[in-house]
């Protein structure tokens, strides 16, 4: 008190800061979606559409122009040939034949991937020549195709006899 008067901000009868209650009033009209909820709904709808295509085809076997299926690696490796070679020893036993070693080729070179039937025929011819007259080389080969592996050679016959 100063000269019989009260000093300071509070003078007795006024409202205090703690007495004021904040009432939150929505700025949006009732019944409308907020922008955040609209974005969430759009995200969920797009994600469901993206997932529905592969699930419909792979789980339920349904194909539709509206639902896109999903195929991983649809064309990579098509036509590549997986081949293994065996040579018959004089005692009659078949043992694995390493084409790189037999032909003196690098494992990272052209011989690493056989990409056509003509290339396979060329490799077989080179192996038969390197093995010598009367060699018995057996070839198991299959080629990658859309419907699965297609058998090209079985080890039932001597590939050098042709």
SS3 labels along 34-53: CHHHHHHHHHHHHHHHHHHH
The predicted structure's pLDDT at residue 124: 94
The predicted structure's pLDDT at residue 15: 54
Name the DSSP letter for residue 111: G
The predicted structure's pLDDT at residue 63: 79
Residues 6+ apart with CB under 8 A from 104: none
Given a cut of 50, the residues of the chain with pLDDT beneath it are: 1
Inter-residue contact 155 to 139 (CB < 8 Å) = yes
What pTM was computed for the model?
A: 0.55
């Amino acid at each position: 008190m100063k000269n019989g008067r009260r000093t300071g901000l509070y003078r007795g009868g006024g409202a205090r800061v703690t007495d004021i209650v904040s009432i939150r009033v929505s700025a949006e009209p009732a019944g409308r979606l907020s922008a955040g909820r609209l974005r969430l709904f759009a995200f969920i709808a797009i994600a469901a559409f993206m997932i529905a295509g592969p699930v419909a085809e792979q789980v339920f076997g349904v194909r539709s122009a509206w639902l896109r299926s999903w195929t991983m690696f649809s064309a990579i490796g098509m036509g590549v040939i997986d081949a293994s070679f065996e040579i018959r020893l004089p005692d009659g036993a078949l043992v694995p034949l390493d084409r790189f070693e037999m032909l003196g080729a690098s494992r990272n070179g052209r011989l690493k991937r056989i990409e056509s039937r003509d290339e396979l025929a060329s490799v077989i011819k080179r192996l038969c020549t390197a093995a010598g007259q009367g060699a018995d080389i057996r070839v198991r080969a299959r080629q990658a195709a859309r419907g699965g592996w297609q058998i090209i050679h079985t080890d039932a016959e001597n590939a050098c006899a042709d």
